[in-house]
Amino acid sequence: MRTPRTLCAAPADDGLPVPRTADVAAVLEAAAAETARGERGAMATVLARRGSAPGTPGQKLYLSGAGACVGTVGGGAVERVVLTELSRICADEGAKHEVRTFKLGPELGMCCGGQLDVLLEPIDGALPCLVVGAGHVGTALAPLLARVGFRVTVVDPREAWAAEGRIEGVTCLVGEVDEVCGDFPAIGPCVVMTHDHAVDQAVIEWALRRGHTFVGGVGSRAKAERTRTRLEAKGFSQEDRARVRMPLGLDIGARTPDEIAVSAAAELVSWRRARASQSA
């Protein structure tokens, strides 16, 4: 069940959103829903309270880059400071987990005199992944990618293959990729496995022009060589051609659609881990 977007709150006078009241379970549900949508977010969790302070250990406050704000760390001025930190983390893809101690004294306009230890942690959104082609390999690969944390969209011009609901856990779109995926985020990978080699070539060129940092193609080594030769003839740079992973997948001797899907998913997970390490 997806959390309603009504969690996106209007800002207060300080420019920060006003959190919606929710218990810890609802905060976690909201964070999971925003993450599934691909939204980057940040979570604050009260670890300890010393002296007189409004927060209670275990309380959580979540903020997403899209403006969803739910939960509490006790309210008052300290919560606005924590929200400022969460906003900073949302905007900084290199931000890391940290534990901060907030003193509830005159500098916050508070007279409680206590302290709160708060864990601040970034939560990356599910990386969007475009699977072009809803044939046997695409049908096997798409739900596997969804289960390992990608936000998957499958597109195919054949209505019977790309009917919504045919592939569990993913979004299916019927149409030509350049017509129905013009606003798809180029930050995510594009993997190509259509029913036609000429269409594969055209989609790979489309994905490179859009700036997808990972462009994968299913096919033999001979097909891969022909693909790269055509790209060079059309003026694609060596840097562009190097972004094409073809044949897609780790070399595990895969033969069946399910085996090829495992191989391809493994390469995508490896690429995602390396990408995260580089940005850390």
pLDDT digit string, tens, across residues 97-132? 999 998 876 565 555 668 899 999 999 888 999 999
Across the range 46-71, mean pLDDT stands at: 91
Average pLDDT rounded to a whole number, residues 9-37: 84
Q: Are residues 104 and 217 in the same domain?
A: no
- For residues 112 and 133, membership in a common domain is answered with no
Domain that holds residue 9: 5-123
β 190-192/128-132 pair status: parallel
CATH number of the domain encompassing residue 212: 3.40.50.720
The verdict on 161 and 190 lying in the same domain is yes
Specify the pLDDT at position 76: 84
- Residue 106 CB neighbour total at 10 angstroms: 9
Do residues 77 and 206 share a domain? Answer: no
Q: Residue range 155-168: average pLDDT?
A: 91
Which domain-ending residue is among 123, 149, 182? Answer: 123
In this predicted structure, the answer to whether residue 273 has a pLDDT above a threshold of 70 is: yes
pLDDT at 237 over 50: yes
Contact 192, 200 (CB under 8 A): yes
* Statement to judge: residues 79 and 180 lie in one domain: no
One domain, residues 141 and 241: yes
For position 4, what pLDDT does the model report? 42
* Same domain assignment for residues 135 and 269: yes
Among candidate residues 61, 95, 123, the one where a domain is terminated: 123
Pairing verdict, β 41-50 and 115-123: antiparallel
Q: Kindly report the pTM of this predicted structure.
A: 0.73
**What secondary structure does DSSP assign to 97-154, as a single string?**
-EEEEEE-SGGGT-----EEEEEEEEEPPPPEEEEE--SHHHHHHHHHHHHTT-EEEE
The pLDDT of residue 279: 61
**Span 30-38, average pLDDT:** 86
Q: Which residue has the higher pLDDT, 275 or 80?
A: 80
Do 139 and 73 fall within a single domain? no
The β-bridge partners of 216 are: 191, 245
- 140 and 117 share one domain: no
β partners of residue 128? 151
1: pLDDT strictly greater than 50:
no
Kindly indicate the confidence band of residue 12, based on its pLDDT and cuts at 50, 70 and 90.
low
Indicate if the pLDDT at residue 55 is higher than 70: yes
The average pLDDT across 169-173 equals 93
**pLDDT at residue 200, as a whole number:** 94
* pLDDT at 148 exceeding the cut of 70: yes
Residue-wise pLDDT tens digits, 192-203: 999 999 999 999
pLDDT at residue 189, rounded to an integer: 95
Shared domain check, 149 and 111:
no
What pLDDT shows up at residue 155? 96
What pLDDT is recorded for position 42? 96
Domain count, the chain: 2
The reported pLDDT for the residue numbered 262 is 97
Same domain, 271 and 133: yes
Task: From 123, 153, 176, give the residue that closes a domain.
Answer: 123
Percent of the chain with pLDDT over 90: 66
Question: Mean pLDDT, to the nearest integer, of 166-177?
Answer: 92
- Cα separation, 224 vs 95, in Å, equals 38
Mean pLDDT of the chain: 89
- Mean pLDDT, residues 160-177: 91
58 and 107 housed in the same domain? yes
